[in-house]
Structure 1
């Protein structure tokens, strides 16, 4: 099973076409019908669509057929804006490879290099991809030379694409399957999974998006968070999809999925924590995950004093959706 899975992220500077490429890949794999397709399909927040930027890293599971063999592509679209680089580091921690998108008119920019360093720290296979080659001012040869000089990445095997028109996207999918390595976890080992995102759902409670490294997670299994030492039963499991999530009874080694634990308190699921089996635990948690460093500090208080608990509850939900936020009461 593992050898037919590819976990990869899309990284780039802001406005170099990550979300547009994600849309084209989803369309090419046939995961969304043409009538359901919309621009920025993976950007689900209103502010993302309004401003045309990605803030939250999003994941989607796609099925692709090559030479009669079915492959599972787990695509993670990441933000390019410098303010959201923490989202990028979380996504890359759960990937095996990354598409490095560079605009054929603008070349290598600051956030391109910053994201490449994060990818290299995670030992990811990088695929250079030059986007927007349909523009009159496109100069892909100069851009590839720039990538080799500024980053030191070998660009002999690169993909020239236009995410807007779909030109070169089928060839890019072939490159992903050939060049990005498959996961290589131990299928018979105790459960070991990394929580790389979490958010709050009004109906299901706190949800954890995980990458399974060893073993598997089954519906009804008692699991333990290794850092918070909290134990909880898995109520249901789903594969991520921007329109309709798909239920499953098991997340196998190398897979990415959503774990529903029915937790009402948000401090139990910590991003970067390791999930393991409650009885048969894994020996070591997944390392190399760094908590976010705060840069902006502010004091908040409600105008009406009886709203203090409402503010605390709202901040806790916000922290679950964005684990780079931390807060504590002043008195």
Structure 2
């Protein structure tokens, strides 16, 4: 996998500003969802979320996108929670990215929670580009909201994308902007393994599933790994990516984002924010 073709980005938005619908449109536009699967809020997998309409789990989805330059890119969309209660998860998710799309409701404008997450992204030196969503609403005021974003957040909005997730407007512009503005990941695949766990959950069939961003090195099935925070040692049973269905891969290398299954029985042993390294005999 050529690192120059990888883009790792997240979506920052206040709750109800249309983030999940926008994420679904990106999945559809890149052919990741079939017509039958175009259920609202596909990324919000957990049942609890469906009830509350809130994104809780940071799902990482791998999208293949052939850009206007004729090259095919791997876009890793790391969905972050928009709710104030989940700020630690947001910070871990952002640390797996190089860029972030700031989604602001074209009618409602900038909200306090948006600010907290944007400052986190700025702290992590992410490339941030603004998207005004819900541009189709009669109450949309794109010029006023652009001015708000510039004055309150300090981000240039001269090339802000005007979009409507509901109507599918601006989706291709978003994908092209991700390719053009989000830098490719750095990292050395020949260096010792270092991977960041930014999410983990328990699956009754597979045990604990960890979402990771590989910083350096390569991880693959059969590798013995150590989780630094807990000191636990495990053997990797499977690595892969969600695209959005689980796809088993031969390896995950520097710059890539995906899942790791390693026979971990309890989710507390796979702490969010933990570092995974190879066990050296």
Same fold (TM over 0.5): yes
1:137 positional shift: 1.0
- For residues 24 and 264 of structure 2, the distance between their equivalents in structure 1, rounded to whole angstroms, comes to 32
- For residues 219 and 143 of structure 2, the distance between their equivalents in structure 1, rounded to whole angstroms, comes to 46
- The aligned counterpart of 2:260 is 259
Residue pairs, 1:157-306, within 5 angstroms: 157-242=159-244, 244-279=245-280
CA contact (8 A) 2:202 2:266 kept: no
State the secondary structure of the residue aligned to 1:126: strand
State the secondary structure of the residue aligned to 1:49: helix
| Aligned counterpart in structure 2 of residue 78 of structure 1, from 77, 80, 88 | 80
- For residues 51 and 264 of structure 2, the distance between their equivalents in structure 1, rounded to whole angstroms, comes to 32
CA shift digits 1:2-29 (9 cap, x unpaired): 1100000001111111001000000000
- For residues 82 and 265 of structure 2, the distance between their equivalents in structure 1, rounded to whole angstroms, comes to 32
CA shift digits 1:237-292 (9 cap, x unpaired): 120244x2000110011111111101224443221111111118xxxxxxxxxxxx
1:47 positional shift: 2.6
Residue pairs, 1:9-20, within 5 angstroms: 9-20=10-21
- The aligned counterpart of 2:66 is 65
Cα pair distance change 1:265/1:88, threshold 3 Å: closer
1:174 positional shift: 0.3
- For residues 188 and 181 of structure 1, the distance between their equivalents in structure 2, rounded to whole angstroms, comes to 21
CA contact (8 A) 2:200 2:267 kept: no
- For residues 121 and 171 of structure 1, the distance between their equivalents in structure 2, rounded to whole angstroms, comes to 26
Higher relative contact order (Cα pairs below 8 Å, separated by 6+ residues): 2
- For residues 145 and 123 of structure 1, the distance between their equivalents in structure 2, rounded to whole angstroms, comes to 23
The gaps in structure 1 that reach 5 residues or longer are 281-331
* Higher mean C-alpha displacement, 125-134 vs 62-71: 62-71
State the secondary structure of the residue aligned to 1:60: strand
- For residues 280 and 251 of structure 2, the distance between their equivalents in structure 1, rounded to whole angstroms, comes to 18
Give me the TM-score of the superposition, normalised by structure 2.
0.96
State the secondary structure of the residue aligned to 2:229: coil
- For residues 55 and 192 of structure 2, the distance between their equivalents in structure 1, rounded to whole angstroms, comes to 35
- For residues 193 and 126 of structure 2, the distance between their equivalents in structure 1, rounded to whole angstroms, comes to 23
State the secondary structure of the residue aligned to 1:156: coil
1:44 positional shift: 1.0
- The aligned counterpart of 2:36 is 35
State the secondary structure of the residue aligned to 2:76: strand
- For residues 263 and 55 of structure 1, the distance between their equivalents in structure 2, rounded to whole angstroms, comes to 22
1:89 positional shift: 1.4
Q: How many residues of Structure 1 are paired with residues of Structure 2 in the alignment?
A: 279
- For residues 103 and 17 of structure 2, the distance between their equivalents in structure 1, rounded to whole angstroms, comes to 7
- For residues 6 and 168 of structure 1, the distance between their equivalents in structure 2, rounded to whole angstroms, comes to 19
- For residues 37 and 267 of structure 1, the distance between their equivalents in structure 2, rounded to whole angstroms, comes to 33
- For residues 265 and 110 of structure 1, the distance between their equivalents in structure 2, rounded to whole angstroms, comes to 35
* Higher mean C-alpha displacement, 88-97 vs 233-242: 233-242
| Aligned counterpart in structure 2 of residue 99 of structure 1, from 92, 98, 101 | 101
- For residues 269 and 79 of structure 2, the distance between their equivalents in structure 1, rounded to whole angstroms, comes to 26
Cα pair distance change 1:266/1:168, threshold 3 Å: closer
1:138 positional shift: 0.7
